[in-house]
Amino acid sequence: MKSQGFNHYRRWRSLKATLPLCILFCYYSAKETDAFSLQNKCTQFPQKHSQGLALSRGSSLSSKYSTEESKSNSVFDRRALLSTISSSLLVFGSQVCVAEDSVGANSVDFIPVDVAPPRDIRQLFNEGRVYESQGNLAAANRIYTKVTKLAPRFIYGWSNLGNTQVAFGALDPAEASYTKAVNLCNENRKDEQKFGVPRCDDLYLLLLNRGSLRLNNDRPKEALKDLETADELRGKPDALILQNRARARELNGLFGGADRDYTVAISMTSNEVVPFWLRSAMVKFQIGDTIGAFDLIRRVENRFPEAPEVRAALATMLAAKGDQIGAQRKYLEIPDKARLKFLDENYIQKVIGWPPKMVESLSLVIKAVGDKPAT
């Protein structure tokens, strides 16, 4: 069914009120040589996943072992994993997120930041990666929590812990974990780079993680700041950063900037239509580019013809164009139960986060068809 991909996307977006289109997770591995290298195989959703988010605002993580055989066994798609658990999230308590250094708060700053996993916890950290690659996030979460206690200055113990916390919907603890990783990376970057000493050179990915999470955690201003910084550090256009920053700009009322980001992101990805194109269409509608909005919404409808939000969005645009009969007909194609959601102001403004002009036009369509909230 063509709407399957969009339904995966919606289930992921139900994780939190305002979902970015996908979250990128950083994932790392230690080689036997003690060198620690970023293995950024986080696949961009529009390029690789025609079935939609099957996460956002999710994502694909890849890990790399030292042998070719283990490489092929360790790569897995977190988008598919998160889509299956996001509808029934288990939220961990806040006690999971912060590990105190055993040597005390006053002396911890004198311990060097670890970019590679220390030798005494490398096996444990690798075990966590294996569990994570197998989809056993509960076990991975427990191990990463232990890693952060044993090596509180290890950057990627915290970032990987944050990944598992996001998967379980524990967004506040995850944000604290990502923040710890960001702070340690910044501290490492302040030190003079030395030959043969690993350096944290992927701060933009950590900020992209945290910024995307903050989009889901009702912190749009802080999210935008993280994503702006990530874009600056990246130094070149990045489709994933642009998609998330576009959503952040939407939530901050910066629709012109959001439109530019969405447009560039679409131009950088494949021609296959993916769900975030709907957001781009609605932003164009908000800024008055009705031609561009209709071009995108028609292409999205062709790809996801049965998705309720797509039908509602097209009905809204048709009504604004003056085609009241077509708008009502399209809106009534939405099943009765699904149509009731569009009567809920919180659903419209918070869960799916439509722009103001879309909300205003939709209300006229709803009134015209005579829908009323269930009593």
**Whole-number Cα distances in Å, 295 to 292, 304, 327, 356:** 5, 14, 16, 20
Which residues have a Cβ under 8 Å from the Cβ of 45 and sit 6 or more positions away? 21, 22, 52, 53, 59, 60, 79, 240, 274, 276
Q: Rounded mean pLDDT of the chain?
A: 75
pLDDT at 90: 23
pLDDT at 49: 25
Average pLDDT over residues 111-132: 90
pLDDT at residue 40 tops 60: no
pLDDT at 375: 53
Token representation of residue 104: 């005390």
Which among 262, 335, 255, 250 is positioned nearest to 296, based on CA atoms?
Answer: 262
DSSP run (H or E) holding 29? strand 28-30
**Whole-number Cα distances in Å, 2 to 5, 177, 216, 229, 337:** 7, 37, 26, 37, 20
Least confident interval from 125-134, 159-168, 193-202, 266-275: 193-202
pLDDT at residue 63 tops 90: no
Average pLDDT over residues 23-49: 30
Average pLDDT over residues 155-166: 95
**Given the structure tokens 């916390």, which residue do they identify?**
165
Which among 268, 226, 233, 272 is positioned nearest to 247, based on CA atoms?
Answer: 226
Residue 138's pLDDT band (cuts 50, 70, 90):
very high
Q: Which stretches within the chain are classed as H helix?
A: 4-13, 45-48, 68-74, 78-85, 119-133, 137-150, 155-167, 171-190, 203-216, 220-234, 239-251, 255-268, 276-286, 290-303, 308-321, 324-332, 336-340, 345-346, 356-369
pLDDT at residue 167 tops 90: yes
